[in-house]
Structure 1
Amino acid sequence: MANLLEMIKQAGLDAMEASNPLHILYGKVLKNNPLEVNVDQRFTLSSDFLIVPEHLTRYEVDLTHQHEVIVDGVNVTTRNALPEKLVIREGLSEGDPIILLRVQGGQKYLIMDKVASG
């Protein structure tokens, strides 16, 4: 009888879950590499459970280049210009507040964006 009650209870919970497939949660990045996020100060998710969109990943470009110029009839190669990579997007950093969507079933969490402090 107790087993049947547990099955009924679980079926009810599953039905409730199915009727509300989207949950918005707030979290904070604990570590960047490997990624760990604390959600609502209740639990921590590792990168295995997180879906990170491209706009929240670090993106940098290498613009290092040299020029060849002629000085007094002699070809001269300049030093490397822009030797450091140019960061286009920082990506997620430790301490960033974020907003997440829980995928139905709760197995994966999509990081929507950083939350702007205002």
Structure 2
Amino acid sequence: MLLDSGLGISLLIPKFWVIFGGLAVLTLMAYYFSLTGIRKGGEFSVYAILGAIIVKLLISMLFALVYLLRINVDKVIFVIDFISIYFLFSGFEIWVLLTNLRDQNKSE
């Protein structure tokens, strides 16, 4: 496998890049929806951001459940890989949204 711990244990789950790509697409969709809400402004922007984050979380959990039911994988390695990818993309999304909000506040 691509990453090996040296003990014969793979650090990446099978079809890692499918999960990576799926979460990337999901994050981009949530970001686009949040950005649309921010541009509309007002109270709708808060609802759009929170709604996008919650929908992303629920779809991610459903994606993880389907993956675990279809593919036999070490559960601990899966949780570590999945959570690290999820938080990586969530951190990126929050950073970009905060940057957009800061730029919007400077222009007003």
Give the TM-score of the pair, scaled to structure 1. Answer: 0.26
Per residue, is there more helix in 1 or in 2?
2
Per residue, is there more strand in 1 or in 2?
1
Give the TM-score of the pair, scaled to structure 2. Answer: 0.28
Larger radius of gyration: 1
